[in-house]
Amino acid sequence: MLAIRRSKLEKLKELGHEPFGGRYDTTHSPGGLQEAFAEGLSVRVAGRVSARRDMGKTLFFDVSDIGGRMQCFLNAKNVPEEVFALFRDLIDLGDWLGVEGETFITKTGEPSIKVTALTVLSKALRPMPDKWHGVSDREIKYRQRYLDLMSNARSREVFLMRSRVLSEIRRYLGNLDYLEVETPMLQGVAGGAAARPFETFHNALGQPFYLRIAPELYLKRLLVGGFTKVFELNRNFRNEGISRRHNPEFTMLEAYQAYGDFEVMADMVEDLICHLAETFCGTLKIEHKDEEGLVVRTIDLSRPWRRTPYRELLQQVDPQWWEHTPEKRRERCAELGVEISPGMEDYEVTQQVFEKKIEEKTFDPCFVTHVPTELVPLAKQNRADGRVVDVYELIINGVEISPGYSELNDPNVQRSRLMHQAGEETQNIDEEFLLALEHGMPPAGGIGIGIDRLVMLLTGSESIRDVVLFPQLKNRE
RNA sequence: GGGCAGGUAGCUCAGUCGGUAGAGCAGUUGGCUUUUAACCAAUUGGUCCUGGGUUCGAAUCCCAGCCUGCCCA
């Protein structure tokens, strides 16, 4: 098959066509013309030949790109013989073409271009995937995403929506006077979260670096510097397991607002996510469907969203949970079918119960507030109850979508909390960050939003690999 | 890391009890001047994931490995 395509390529050259083209100025994209369609327009449209229906002296073909398709009509009577023969004999499904002609509507009502001239833009030497099923082999979808995109409308929709969601988040925050910034991805100390980092090495500096696991400690330095509303929307890296919900590199939004607190930020996140759902899904009741198109779950984003303290949620699992001794709590785990390991601290035991019995079963939005201090070293402690911090963790669709804090800005408390978390490993403390706090950070509310999980929620995707263009896979060898 | 499922033509997939490797689409050839998964006829195309083993004979049974997916940790 390759050989046949190559011989067509040679014939194109013999006939004076450059098979890998060049600049081609268009009046419309295929999808753009579809939207702005009127009869009798002179147009130039380019795209990949995605279908052809050959009727002898007449033939139809579609040109398409990520944004849509347009039917073209080629008739032996309307064009010079060589133009007709060029398409008929040398153009295959998958080739890129520039098409010039006039718009009209066919007998069957299809908006079309009556072709008068063709320009070869690129010859495809390999065939397109199955025109009806597309590619469904997961490995091919992920390793050769372009084949997935050119053959599966659903994938195109997901990634178009992802792109538009990112733009809309930037626009939304910009309207609120947030400034977008970029902070280091190569960090000397990987701070801002508890996760194993990727390690690397800078040769000229002779110094090890870590790929960031969070931008938080740098964004807070910017609060110290006087940025009062600031966000970063970019990649984090965590050297941990890969699963349906985890990719080693993932996209995170972090935003900080001076003089705010976690409740101000919860209000904003609630409004932002509802805005995105209304804009891109047209509804706050999002239906997730299975392969057959049957609705398996409906997520209701109607406001106001539930806000419930961590303490109360555990009482819903076991009313006596907080009265139990640590030993009794471990016993209850066995009864509840929650697996724990012997080395776990008491608060970790409770957190396991939270994750298995509450988080995984919560699909409609819930802000879990006031979680135990040990779980969040970077948030302010609650004034009335120092055992908890002033934070929320937003659960939707059984996963944490967004954390939000009243940010800790007391340098002394911050130091002791980080020391406590680091234990023996004091080299993991970002002294430069503590130095910045000593210069004075305004009180602030901060949030993170896991963008991949948000896009999964909005598109009804069951796997993070279906919303990341090139998910991490093992090398072939 | 553990368990389960899968890997067959470019793509989507069948393959019975271990007995010559199959279909649809794509491709090729021919026909057809308004089709839209166009249609009709003919036809090409295989490292059956890899490597061992059992057997007269392996896509099929056994062992090891690779890759993917799902579940668990």
Would you say the C-beta of A81 is within 7 Å of strand B?
Answer: no
* Residue A252, C-beta contacts closer than 8 angstroms, at least 6 positions apart: A214, A215, A233, A234, A235, A236, A448, A449, A450, A451
Q: Which of A251, A256, A211 is CA-nearest to residue A233?
A: A251
Residue A84: the pLDDT is: 95
- Nucleotide nearest A106 (Cα, C1'): B34
Query: Max alpha carbon distance in chain A (Å)?
Result: 90
Q: Which of A370, A311, A346 is CA-nearest to residue A332?
A: A346
Residue at minimum CA to C1' distance from nucleotide B38:
A53
Would you say the C-beta of A295 is within 7 Å of strand B?
Answer: no
Q: Give the angle subtended at the CA of A476 by the CAs of A472 and A477, to the nearest 5°.
A: 150
Kindly tell me the number of DSSP H helices and DSSP E strands found in chain A. Answer: 14, 18
Residue A454: the pLDDT is: 97
Scanning residues 34 through 53 of protein chain A, those with a beta carbon under 7 Å from any atom of strand B turn out to be 51-53
Would you say the C-beta of A240 is within 7 Å of strand B?
Answer: no
- Nucleotide nearest A143 (Cα, C1'): B68
Would you say the C-beta of A88 is within 7 Å of strand B?
Answer: no
Q: Which residues pair with A406 in a beta bridge?
A: A445
Which secondary-structure segment (H or E) carries A40? none
Spatial contact of A390 and A262, defined as CB atoms under 8 Å apart: yes
Identity (one letter) of the amino acid at A20? F
**Average pLDDT score over chain A:** 94
Residue A477: the pLDDT is: 63
Is the pLDDT confidence value at A432 over 90?
Answer: yes
- Nucleotide nearest A76 (Cα, C1'): B33
Please write the tens of the pLDDT for every residue from A232-271. Answer: 999 999 999 999 999 999 999 999 999 999 999 999 999 9
The burial of A369, by beta-carbon neighbours within 10 Å (0-12 exposed, 13-18 middle, 19 or more buried), is given as: buried
Q: Which nucleotides of B are covered by protein (CB under 7 A)?
A: 1, 10-13, 24-28, 31-39, 66-73
Average pLDDT over residues A209-227: 97
Average pLDDT over residues A380-390: 95
- Nucleotide nearest A1 (Cα, C1'): B27
The DSSP code sequence of A405-472 is EEB---HHHHHHHHHHHHTT-GGGS-HHHHHHHHT----EEEEEEEHHHHHHHHHT-SSGGGTSSS--
**pTM, two decimal places:** 0.94
Is the pLDDT confidence value at A359 over 70?
Answer: yes
Q: Which two tokens stand for residue A259?
A: 């003089």
Please write the tens of the pLDDT for every residue from A164-215. Answer: 999 999 999 999 999 999 999 999 999 999 899 999 999 999 999 999 999 9
Would you say the C-beta of A341 is within 7 Å of strand B?
Answer: yes
Would you say the C-beta of A4 is within 7 Å of strand B?
Answer: yes
Please write the tens of the pLDDT for every residue from A28-37. Answer: 999 999 999 9
CA dihedral (A313, A317, A318, A321) positive or negative: negative
Reduced to 3 states (helix: H, G, I; strand: E, B; else coil), residue A54 is: strand
Please write the tens of the pLDDT for every residue from A128-170. Answer: 999 999 999 999 999 999 999 999 999 999 999 999 999 999 9
Residue A1: the pLDDT is: 76
Average pLDDT over residues A334-346: 86
Number of Cβ atoms within 10 Å of the Cβ of A404:
29
Spatial contact of A164 and A64, defined as CB atoms under 8 Å apart: no
